[in-house]
């Protein structure tokens, strides 16, 4: 466990030890006021003249607000995050890798605060699927995407997760030893994900397909794709395993 995770564990132990973390209660104990407003960023933290505020984008859903507050609590609690104000855009809250180090640290803090490693492992069997991710998301009362990210970090199998919006690949994240790499910018017309973009309702599609539909280095490998459509965001999340390893 690194320093960031230790700080998050310390906060949870002393301020919200129950399995579902009460970020609003933590803020109240620290005297941090939460204000919702029609701002462009997801949130920003401001600390001045002895007062602290987290200003949230009012249009965020409840689970997104929860993770965003936990993220800002990271900026508040991590000693070397000492600036007076942090503004965090939604692009800094997904799984991309080019963020500033302090945004990565705040995300790691939020994940550990909301889904502590030991408790999460006790409820997660190590294999990633829509049903598993949904189950642990409900247990910890976090978003599907936040639980999915945590599952990838703690998985006992190799797989990759791809997020596509309007058929464009926005980000992907693989388990440590997943052997293939995505270098395409759009989902293939042959993929299950592509088909889901034409639907206007929540759907899950699982198919077996040649690996080349997603990966340039797949050779003759076949994969199993489980894609989930989130039509409110015009987003499809695809969980992809090598067929031979299932």
Give burial (CB, 10 Å; 0-12/13-18/19+) of 228. Answer: buried
> What pTM, to 2 d.p., does this model score?
0.87
Helix, coil or strand: residue 28: helix
Strands 203-210 and 222-230: antiparallel
pLDDT in tens, the chain (246 residues): 699 999 999 999 999 999 999 999 999 999 999 999 998 888 888 888 888 999 999 988 898 899 999 999 999 999 988 664 555 654 434 555 455 788 889 999 999 999 999 999 999 999 999 999 999 999 999 999 999 999 999 999 999 999 999 999 999 999 999 999 998 999 999 999 999 998 888 999 999 999 999 998 888 899 999 999 998 888 999 999 998 776
Helix, strand, coil fractions of the chain, as percent rounded to 5: 40, 25, 35
């Amino acid at each position: 466990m690194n320093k960031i995770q230790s700080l998050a564990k310390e906060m949870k132990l002393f301020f919200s030890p129950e399995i579902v973390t009460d970020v609003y209660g933590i803020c109240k104990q620290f005297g941090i006021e939460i204000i919702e407003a029609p701002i462009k960023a997801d949130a920003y933290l401001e600390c001045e003249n002895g007062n602290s505020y987290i200003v949230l984008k009012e249009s965020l859903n409840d689970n997104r607000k929860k993770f965003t507050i936990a993220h800002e609590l990271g900026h508040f609690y991590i000693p070397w995050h000492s600036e007076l104000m942090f503004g965090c855009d939604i692009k800094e809250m997904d799984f991309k890798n080019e963020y500033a180090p302090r945004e990565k640290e705040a995300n790691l803090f939020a994940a550990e605060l909301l889904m502590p490693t030991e408790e999460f492992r006790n409820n997660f069997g190590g294999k990633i699927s829509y049903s598993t991710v949904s189950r642990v998301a409900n247990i910890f009362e976090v978003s599907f995407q936040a639980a999915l990210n945590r599952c990838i970090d703690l998985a006992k199998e190799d797989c990759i997760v791809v997020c596509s919006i309007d058929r464009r690949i926005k980000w992907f994240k693989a388990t440590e030893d997943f052997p293939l790499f995505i270098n395409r910018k759009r989902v293939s017309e042959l993929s299950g994900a592509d088909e889901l973009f034409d639907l206007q309702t929540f759907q899950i599609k699982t198919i077996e397909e040649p690996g080349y539909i997603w990966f340039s280095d797949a050779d003759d490998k076949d994969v199993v794709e489980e894609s989930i459509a989130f039509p409110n965001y015009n987003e499809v999340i695809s969980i992809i395993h090598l067929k031979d390893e299932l």
